[in-house]
Chains A and B, each alone.
Chain A
Amino acid sequence: MKPTRLIIVAVGGQGNLLASKVLGEAALMADIPVRMSEIHGMAQRGGVVESAMVFGDARSTIISDGEADVLVGFEPAETLRALNKCNPQTTVITNMAALPPFTVSIGRGTYPDLKQLQDLIAAKTGRLIALDAADLARTAGNIMSVNIVLLGALCQTGILPVTAAMVREAIKTRTKAAFVDTNLKAFELGYQAAA
């Protein structure tokens, strides 16, 4: 199976690692080869969390610059920061709900203009899907399910060998029982938003 490479970037606490775990479990259930790596050195202290997932026949667990087939960004500025992982064919899915870094909050740095940010990403990649995942998560009933909303959008693109049905199954069996219903709802909202 030809490898498909996915990068997920997020800010500590956004549930990036759970999202990649759900995708990984879905791949395992479907017998799709999968490897992933994560860097979360100081996640609890406000840093960036990045995971790389490689589906299909490859041995590496990390993804070089320009080699991601899909980039999912949980935060718009972090999506922009990860553009070096993309190429002109890459599909980019980004949450548009900004979480400005502390440096910006206290007036020591400028957050990128969101319109310009979208234009830049769209111009440099194959396809951009931008959505307010925070809003959809709230609609689903839990602001913490931004990660699952974005998984829904990701599955809608059909780029991964993992299907929406497999991911729904992984959500049912691998996320906390109390959150399964909101997570499934969040997944559907993300799926529809990307259509």
Chain B
Amino acid sequence: MHKLLADQAGQKVLLLGNEAIARGALEAGVAFASTYPGTPSSEISLNLFQIAQETDLYFEYSTNEKVALEVAAAAANSGLRSMCMMKHVGVNVAADALMTLAYVGTRAGLVIISADDPYMFSSQNEQDNRYYGKLSGLPILEPSSVEEAKAMVPAAFELSETLGEPVILRTTTRINHSNAVVTLGALVPPRTKGHFEKDPFSYVTVPAVSRRLHARLLDNITRAEALAEESPYNFEEGGGSWGIVCNGVSYTYVADAIHDLGIEDKVRILRIGFSHPLPAERIGTFLAACEKVLVVEEGEPYLEEAVKAFAQEKGLTLPIKGKGQALFSRLYEFDPAMVRRILADYFGIDCPPPSVPDLSDVPEIPQRPPTLCAGCSHRATFYAVKKATEGLDVIHPSDIGCYTLGFLPPLSMGDFVICMGASTGSAGGFAQATDQKVVSFIGDSTFFHSGIPGLINAVFNNHDLTLIILDNRTTAMTGHQPNPGVDMQELNLDGYGQVALEPLVKAIGVQHVTTIRPYQLKKSIAAIREAVTFEGVSVVIAEEKCALYAKALRQLRGKPFQVSERCRNHRDCINDLGCPAFYLEDDRVRIDADICIGCALCAQVCPENAIVPLKSKS
């Protein structure tokens, strides 16, 4: 039995934030869950995916976040409690559905998890999704701890049903990827079959309907604001004339700082956990009791601007600060010492700095940058593209996935990356705007996610480009989640369809489509050269299962290679491929047999044919 299904209310367990959120959903009787994987949200989905195999819960990996929200919106409007998880930038993809879903609302509870990533540990930006509350008009809840994250999920479902609209539960990486001791609540059996009651004048958003729905949304915001005024998630602590307004993990840093500085009797805290719409009265009353106020929030000055506006409405002129020089930054994440220092500074109290050692005499430590794995088929494809386009001026738009790492030397394959799917759209723009060749890269999951419209666009507008689909048969970067191209039978899961890339690409109207096996280097180079020479849109599908995924499925067949006596130390292998299985020993290239998966790419690159299979017993 899955550990999150333990039906022992009152038991204390150590859970990852994302496990706590999944458990919270089960304690809310969630019936339907959908997602597109993305760090730091992925473990919520992984746990629900596993749990769905043991229970009545319906879970799906949708093709993208917009689709995930649409299926969840339909389920919730059929009466099933539904949850939809995504990383912060995923909400951008889902935003079109989100904005009008806010008008339409929901019958059963619908909770949308937005997992933000301050500091961009594994993201392309650090946008602050609290603004989606303002933009859509929907309520936002924000936990400060793992325990609270679990508790907030059932509360978010209740709130969603009270207001008849989706609720956004916004986390940050330090909630998702922290562990804490959580007390289990009772599991609630879900209602698993819904029924859709037709009501086109509420659900079909033609202008006449939407005009009424928008007015209802504004009424709902007023109702939500009244709930925010009373919410236990907006609470005050302490007493004194120095005020701190804070949210999320910042609250924990503030609480520790006040304790460490011994100023419990001087400071009052207003912790905002129901952060859209904000409780104007409550904040106003709080401000009226303070002489000066500091707003502590990671990301944008979302609270700060609102707090200042509320003060203005109340006619209060006390100093209110948050972001600014010598104060908090809009960049990256906070840490306890930073919050303690700025807090002490702002309120004018002593705070001895931590005694950080002088590290000026520590020698430079070599970096440990993430690299493509030993035997990664992307390396083979990148190398083949490099060889096939030698001497040409080529732009390589790339996309989001492991293969983004191809932009690093020695492969240097990746010139423009902004968001999921952009490799296909931007490729068309580069092709049209320049005389440079365009060879772009996209992974299989990203192609299904949002690459297809860009390819259709290229065919329709007759752009001259080559798209390489790096088809490693899984969603590798986020932990090998399924995508529509995956053979689910290999995972012993029945009842799934499968979408094949080549017929799909051909059906789009691409005139030149080839599928290569990237480990077959000569053939791959020839096929790519032909595709690049083709005028118009060409697609090369580089098909080879992710080595880590193949290993997990026990499908790796390759035997390790070794460098033989024939080696003349040209080092093309190391210099051109950069596979982490290589190392130098007494200035000679060696291959670590524990890491080498036997892809044989280097053996095909070596000018002396010096790289040969390792004898099974040497």
Contacts and interface: CB of A to CB of B under 8 A. Distances in A.
Given A60-B253, A62-B336, A104-B366, A41 B405 contact: no
Interface stretch (B173-181, B385-393, B607-615): B173-181
A81 B364 CA distance: 9
A37 B178 contact: yes
B121 A64 contact: no
Nearest to A110: B366
Nearest to A26: B14
Interface stretch (B131-139, B188-196, B350-358): B350-358
A59 B362 contact: no
B353 to A, nearest CB: 8
Interface residues of B, number: 55
B370 A42 contact: yes
Given A39-B177, A64-B338, A66-B354, A59 B584 contact: no
Contacts, number: 163
Nearest to B13: A28
A36 interface: yes
B367 A109 contact: yes
B336 A45 contact: no
A22 to B, nearest CB: 10
Nearest to A85: B356
A121 to B, nearest CB: 9
Given A80-B362, A84-B356, A60 B582 contact: no
A82 to B, nearest CB: 10
A107 B315 CA distance: 66
A2 B457 CA distance: 62
A125 interface: yes
Interface of A: 11, 20-21, 24-25, 28, 33-42, 44-48, 58-67, 77-78, 80-81, 83-84, 86-88, 100-107, 109-113, 116, 120, 124-125
Contact of A35 (B179, B357, B580): B179
25 contacts: A21-B14, A24-B14, A28-B13, A28-B181, A34-B181, A36-B179, A37-B174, A39-B173, A41-B39, A41-B121, A46-B580, A47-B369, A58-B256, A59-B253, A60-B336, A61-B178, A61-B179, A61-B249, A61-B252, A65-B356, A78-B368, A103-B367, A106-B578, A107-B584, A124-B359
Nearest to B336: A60
- Centre residue among B338, B353, B370 by max chain A CB count within 10 A: B370
B337 interface: yes
Contacts of A107: 574, 584
B582 A46 contact: no
A61 B365 contact: no
Question: What 7 A-B pairs have minimum CB-CB distances, sorted nearest first?
Answer: A64-B337, A66-B354, A109-B366, A59-B252, A42-B370, A105-B583, A66-B356
Contacts of A66: 337, 353-357
A59 B256 CA distance: 6
A103 B499 CA distance: 39
Given A37-B174, A37-B177, A37-B179, A84 B359 contact: yes
B122 interface: yes
B365 A80 contact: yes
A58 B372 CA distance: 39
A62 B177 CA distance: 11
Nearest to A103: B366
A60 B255 CA distance: 9
B14 A28 contact: yes
Interface string B1-35: 00000000000111000000000000000000000
B501 interface: no
Interface string B105-125: 000000000000000011000
Contact of B365 (A11, A65, A81, A125): A81
B363 interface: yes
B52 interface: no
Contacts of B364: 110
A149 to B, nearest CB: 20
